Chain A
Amino acid sequence: EAGVAQSPRYKIIEKRQSVAFWCNPISGHATLYWYQQILGQGPKLLIQFQNNGVVDDSQLPKDRFSAERLKGVDSTLKIQPAKLEDSAVYLCASSPSGDTQYFGPGTRLTVL
């Protein structure tokens, strides 16, 4: 069974630029999550989708971050404009029924 796919794996941008990350969850998984992991810390949930609807986006900085999950499958997370403190690993996870989550390899973002 293929795992959660993410791209790109690495991205370097300058502050105030925009960036987008892509996630393809495990086939058939209805729930999709985006996490932010700052160096030395555990992952922090940004947004949770159930199919293509948002379940929880309480920790998403909505002035600069946006996410969508069209057709209830793939998802994109966008940052515009990026700040230095957005440097982190962005992890996508999916779950068939909201219990066990399966994580992708993450995208490492560096903002200069």
Chain B
Amino acid sequence: DAKTTQPPSMDCAEGRAANLPCNHSTISGNEYVYWYRQIHSQGPQYIIHGLKNNETNEMASLIITEDRKSSTLILPHATLRDTAVYYCIVRGQYNTDKLIFGTGTRLQVFP
């Protein structure tokens, strides 16, 4: 079973920041938080991951709380092309550790 809890859906206006929350209260010390997204009719796409520090790349920022029990994915300026299902996944550090997908958050960006 997935170890994360996400809202089933969210809306965001184009050009505004989209903040997607994720709860992972049972996360272990050596487990990472990964975010993927899946645009309609495509395979999942890696966005970002982190252990305990905040992370930023060209796609998004990941904010992890100090107790690591929750995190927020931030898309700073959402566009219509960001409409997708966003998956928050807790995964161990080893090659054999699985990505276990839940049902994710369906983000709808509107004009």
Contact = CB atoms under 8 A, between A and B. Distances in A.
Interface of A: 4, 31, 40-45, 48, 50, 55-56, 91, 93, 97-106
28 contacts: A4-B43, A31-B95, A40-B103, A41-B101, A42-B2, A42-B104, A44-B101, A45-B98, A45-B99, A48-B96, A48-B98, A50-B95, A56-B96, A56-B98, A91-B43, A91-B44, A93-B43, A93-B44, A99-B95, A100-B49, A102-B46, A103-B43, A103-B44, A104-B43, A105-B41, A105-B42, A105-B43, A106-B42
Given A56-B96, A97-B95, A98-B94, A43 B42 contact: no
Given A42-B103, A45-B98, A48-B98, 16 more contacts: A4-B43, A42-B2, A42-B101, A42-B104, A55-B95, A55-B96, A93-B44, A97-B95, A98-B96, A99-B95, A101-B46, A102-B46, A103-B44, A103-B45, A105-B43, A106-B42
